[in-house]
Structure 1
């Protein structure tokens, strides 16, 4: 537990330039995707009239006031403004909290029809943890250590628990290649509905033709998810990130689902960019001298 705590919440006595830049890039990416998701959701709000599946705060308050009104746009403006002010360090202690509340309200309103996506979950949890970091930690070193460490923890937990729930729900037979046939066929119907045509790619055709190949693909995906806890440790983090990125690339090629926000944030989180920047700066200073 001591090693886990150290590798998750690795704190520097003096915040290095590289680690600070690394955090600022992560912060900017989370803000960008929060902005992008929310304004995309707002464009759908006029088409929604009823709450079919209450999510989050919608279980406790009536959010129907957001349908057929200008309130989603006002909330979107509040989210955009608060996140920008937070990034500029103006009233930062509460700005990200306001941004997260707005993000959550728009999320539960957009997906009140029963469809719950994965694409925005990492952005949402990251925004929440950034908000908590600024609320409860005054020192930069402690704040950045908490935010990085908690995102590492929940990212690893999310992927590992995803693998465990597959085993609980379906058992070891989850990786049966015929399940991949089913999912590829279902996604082809979605693609057909959007574009009016669909053609299976080369890898999908091989999966349909050879059950062992389809089974192998699902087995690799399941094992990768079950290994998500390796995200908690500094030495194994880059390797599991490469594996998870490969998992998402596979999902794209076999089921036409692209997790853009996940991919960008994983690339930022998974590698020690801060250490590399510090090393490069020292190297440049050495060359100059």
Structure 2
């Protein structure tokens, strides 16, 4: 599997706290890195864009697999806007990096999809774990990878998703390590966010779900677990990319790993009391 090096930006010429400023920086080509930590308090979204005649199958896949595919918005065919997420949003330019797939195979990483845009494309925006990470930090739970400028390690499990039409595949997960007492609190905190993956799907032995911590999906993230820590695994919004690889639609565009769409929605709006 190809490992993609994800660029990181450490200097900002714009307000990194403002979701609109983040999107405009992406639009101008001034930012192409991770979005973790940007626009704190605001929802970030995973993306999958498919031709209209594949959209209903994918919608059913999301409905049958809400943990990895929590749908928060869907566009009309050919419309690059998602007004429920931001008034000025243009999906063709406002994400740091995109992945282009043809016949289910990854073929290209780009920072602008204007030339790839088609009138039959339907955009699906899915909740992202960056929202609950903010809640974890607010609860005083440490996330070392953020301090290192990285993201949670991403893995492919041996757990099957529920198939829908042409879409099927294994569950992708993200891993965050905690000491046992903190792990209990992390479960409590994230269970309040079902629209951004919710509680962990697995705790403890990675091999029990077919995971080797040294083998990350496309080399993404930090897989370090210190002595005395438990690895916790959450469903991941990269799961649709595995389903796309199996379904082999003629054309598909997604976000690049950990480079999300930053929206104007507040994380608090997705929490369940």
Q: TM-score, normalised by structure 2?
A: 0.25
Q: TM-score, normalised by structure 1?
A: 0.24
> Based on CA coordinates, which of the two structures has the bigger radius of gyration?
1
Q: With CA pairs under 8 Å and 6+ residues apart, which has the higher RCO, 1 or 2?
A: 2
More helix by share: 1
More strand by share: 2
